[in-house]
Structure 1
Amino acid sequence: MTGAEPATIQVFPWAPACAADSGSWCSRVYGWTHNDFLARSADVIVDRALAIVLIVLIAVVARALLHRAIDRLVRGAAGGPSRVPAVLRRRAPAGLRQIAAPLLSERRVQRANTVGSVLRSTTSVVVLAIASIMVMAEFGLNLGPILASAGIAGVALGFGAQNLVRDFLSGMFMLLEDQYGVGDVVDLGVATGTVEAVGLRITTLRDVHGTVWHVRNGEIQRVGNKSQGYAVAVVDVPLARTVDIAKAVELAGQVAAEVAATEDVARQLLEPPEVLGVETVTMDGVTLRVTAKTQPGQQWMVQRALNAAITKAFDRAELPRPYAAVPPSGPPSGPQSGRSEP
């Protein structure tokens, strides 16, 4: 007897019929366990196990490929060209561009990583759900009631959590469109302040009084970003209607040029200040407007500097203002004051 001869499996009369089929899983399992139930179920168990393993492998590979594609998309978005306004690229000093470039790049990377994390989580949930349904189908479960129940639950959840879904989708689009980021000064309609955190559901900002506002993204109907790209400092100086407009415009231009030459203000300017002239005319006086294009978020510092210098110069030049102060009236002075007639 050679070692190549197959082993003979003893089949008892009460053994299942499939046990006599040599080479089948039923015969092998019966030879190992001599268990009737396991032997009869062997072929089904092995076939389904192989199908389940194949489903799991395909799900793992699909998830890995999708995550790899998302990672490549994120790297491309993080390393792509930034949306820098043309005025900042053309007219900003070289030092400002060198400072702003890393900040814009970091912000772009953070935004891309956030969106990539959400996309990876979403694809993982979708692949896991599909794989679970296919595995349950392999076990012979009736998926009709399960899918119907899931559909009803999804509809109920959609109605109940529609605000949450709206907040989530609004947050996604805000991140994708780069409407604002941490550190920006924004007007969201319901609140105005500096953005401290941007989430998929809530945006947190702090106003000038130190109050922290938590605004749901789904409630934001408009966004006014006061510190994206560049800003404009606007100075309105009220004057009396009798003022010499030409003299006031000339003096405002000289003072604005002097302020722009100072070291602190010069670093924040993108263009020299410009005197636009008379902005409004009313029965009480006229308003002279001066503007200056500045770095994002620095318009208020430049505006205060220009306002203080122009006001001081106008006072020295004795240019009349509206509502000039009138000396308070008092009792007549003289030797007869306070005396009554006899």
Structure 2
Amino acid sequence: MTDLDPLDLSDLDAPACPDGDNWCRTVLNMTHSRWLAQSADWLVAKPLTILFILFVAIVIRALARRLIDRLTRSNGDSKVPALLRPLRERAPQALGTLLSERRAQRAKTIGSVFKSITSVLVFGTAFMMILAELGMDLAPVLASAGILGVAIGFGAQNVVKDFLSGVFMMLEDQYGVGDVVDVGEASGTVEAVGLRITTMRDVNGTVWYVRNGEILRVGNSSQGFAVAVVDVPIGYGADVEQATDIIDRVATEVTEVEPVSNDVLEPPEVLGVERVSAAEGIMLRLTVKVRPGRQWAVQRALRARIVAAFEDASIQGPIMRGFPNGD
């Protein structure tokens, strides 16, 4: 028993707190407990440091998201969000209200990508700082995270492919809400554009959901301008020169009167004989440069008036088998 007394006395004489450990001295003065004072680093200092790291991360994330919201918000229908100003915009001004919706959705989608990236970077950094504060070796953690990321990326490569394709499609403004596009197996009017899925509606009302990663080529009928192409068949016995003059006169009359005149960008041009075939007779072609997306309405108006003018002038149409006057 007497052999242990010197050891006990030396422990009692040892200082409770090392020099410079203010937390230890503060807890010792408050509680007069050597054990609590010596554990102050784990009981007080580290929890407070971790809470401070989390608080700073939340504040930085909130400020970053607020900045992104300001960059993606437009002040009016004609205003381009600040986030889109450095990017190239292919959307025609003729889209009107759809242009504002397209800009808003494009900015919102790109903003959501930036928000996700910001959250991952901020909270990922905060997580690493917390692990370092707890005294963990970060090298094995980083190695494990790298292996896990590779495994997830390999298993979800289709999702990653769709996501990256959506990002580049948004940045390049290949198409947007209100555009009439052909993406291969589906075509129609774009109703929504996401980072993984593009939603389209065709002329029959069918909604198509197309994965961005599966789109290999895009035909956009709503960028810059469009061309209304009208092919008019006549019979072999008809006067080609007379039919051409009628098409030119009717096209000029139709394109100079509202509402068709609002969609026409240049005067109509009669190209003449396009082709000759046994089934269709002589095919005459007329073209008109119009606003994007308005070519079909102009084509219908021109066809209706040209057909009526041909009937009034007794222009002979093509004779087809199975129809009256056919063989």
**Deviation larger for 319-328 or 108-117:** 319-328
Match of 2:3 in 1: none
Counterpart pick for 2:82 among 66, 76, 81: 76
Q: Does 1:311 align with 2:311?
A: no
Aligned residues of 1:78 and 1:105 also touching (Cα < 8 A): no
Aligned residues of 1:243 and 1:319 also touching (Cα < 8 A): yes
Aligned residues of 1:18 and 1:27 also touching (Cα < 8 A): no
Aligned residues of 2:192 and 2:198 also touching (Cα < 8 A): yes
Aligned residues of 2:24 and 2:41 also touching (Cα < 8 A): yes
Aligned residues of 2:24 and 2:39 also touching (Cα < 8 A): yes
Match of 2:14 in 1: 17
Task: Give the deviation of 1:184 after TM superposition.
Answer: 1.7
Task: Give the deviation of 1:80 after TM superposition.
Answer: 7.0
Q: Using a 3 Å threshold, how does the CA distance of structure 1 residues 278 and 16 change in structure 2: closer, same or farther?
A: farther
Instruction: Give the total of aligned pairs.
Output: 307
Match of 1:91 in 2: none
| Greater radius of gyration (CA) | 1
Task: Give the deviation of 1:46 after TM superposition.
Answer: 5.8
Q: Residues of 2 paired with 1:20 and 1:320: CA distance?
A: 111
Quote the sequence identity (%): 55
**1:91-106 mapped onto 2 (5 Å cutoff):** 103-106=98-101
Q: Residues of 2 paired with 1:193 and 1:154: CA distance?
A: 37
Deviation per residue, 1:133-159 (Å, 9 max, x gap): 111111012333332322222111101
Aligned residues of 2:251 and 2:302 also touching (Cα < 8 A): yes
Task: Give the deviation of 1:13 after TM superposition.
Answer: 7.7
Which secondary structure does the structure 1 equivalent of 2:15 belong to? helix
Match of 1:323 in 2: 319
Aligned residues of 2:109 and 2:194 also touching (Cα < 8 A): no
Q: Does 1:296 align with 2:296?
A: no
**1:1-342 mapped onto 2 (5 Å cutoff):** 15=12, 17-19=14-16, 24-43=22-41, 48=46, 52=50, 55-56=53-54, 59=57, 63=61, 66-67=64-65, 70=68, 74=72, 75-78=81-84, 83=89, 103-282=98-277, 285-323=281-319, 327=325
Aligned residues of 1:16 and 1:40 also touching (Cα < 8 A): no
Task: Give the deviation of 1:221 after TM superposition.
Answer: 0.9
Q: Which amino acid aligns with 1:116?
A: G
Q: Using a 3 Å threshold, how does the CA distance of structure 1 residues 194 and 32 change in structure 2: closer, same or farther?
A: same
Task: Give the deviation of 1:121 after TM superposition.
Answer: 2.2
Task: Give the deviation of 1:19 after TM superposition.
Answer: 2.4
Deviation per residue, 1:231-272 (Å, 9 max, x gap): 221101122344432222111101111222332222222222
Q: Which amino acid aligns with 1:226?
A: S
**What runs of 5+ residues in structure 1 fail to find an aligned partner?**
1-11, 89-96, 330-342
Q: Which amino acid aligns with 1:294?
A: V
Task: Name the TM-score, length of structure 2 as normaliser.
Answer: 0.80
Q: Residues of 2 paired with 1:175 and 1:21: CA distance?
A: 59
Deviation per residue, 1:188-246 (Å, 9 max, x gap): 11201111111111111111111111111111111111123322211011223444322
**Deviation larger for 163-172 or 32-41:** 32-41
Q: Residues of 1 paired with 2:45 and 2:221: CA distance?
A: 64
Q: Residues of 2 paired with 1:22 and 1:140: CA distance?
A: 21
Task: Name the TM-score, length of structure 1 as normaliser.
Answer: 0.77
Which secondary structure does the structure 1 equivalent of 2:190 belong to? strand
Aligned residues of 2:102 and 2:178 also touching (Cα < 8 A): no
Task: Give the deviation of 1:33 after TM superposition.
Answer: 2.2
Match of 1:92 in 2: none
Task: Give the deviation of 1:41 after TM superposition.
Answer: 2.6
Aligned residues of 1:181 and 1:198 also touching (Cα < 8 A): yes
Q: Which amino acid aligns with 1:297?
A: G
Q: Using a 3 Å threshold, how does the CA distance of structure 1 residues 143 and 277 change in structure 2: closer, same or farther?
A: same
Aligned residues of 1:167 and 1:218 also touching (Cα < 8 A): yes
Match of 1:4 in 2: none
